[in-house]
Amino acid sequence: ASRAQILDKATEYIQYMRRKNHTHQQDIDDLKRQNALLEQQVRALEKVKGSAQLQASYSSSDSSLYTNPKGSAVSAFDGGSDSSSESEAEEPPNRKKLRVEAS
């Protein structure tokens, strides 16, 4: 193999590795964003859980209605779940499919 061929192959390999590194970095960035979103959702759920426990401890015995964090009435028997959650508005991006590249 001539020097030119070796250099050409080396250049191809370097470009291939740069593309591969770039896609891996994009995957890492996507996972970091997903992780941040999940942490935000966990904090919101913990906050709601804490306020629900606080409301339950201070509830009067003659009242069967509570108000959820959005201010609407919630039955004491439905667990206080609200179908339209603010944290559900942002859908996490779809997971990337693993690319198998021939080596």
Domain ranges of the chain: 3-88
pLDDT band at 95 (very low <50, low <70, confident <90, very high): low
Q: Is 41 exposed, middle or buried (0-12, 13-18, 19+ CB in 10 A)?
A: middle
Question: Phi, psi (5° rounding) for residue 38?
Answer: -65, -40
Residue 68 confidence (pLDDT): 57
At 33, list the tokens. 């964003």
Residue 27: is its pLDDT beyond 90?
yes
* Distance, CA of 36 to CA of 17 (rounded, Å): 28
Sign for the CA dihedral angle at 71, 74, 78, 83 comes to negative
Residue 72 confidence (pLDDT): 57
Residue 88 confidence (pLDDT): 44
Q: Which residue has the higher pLDDT, 87 or 46?
A: 46
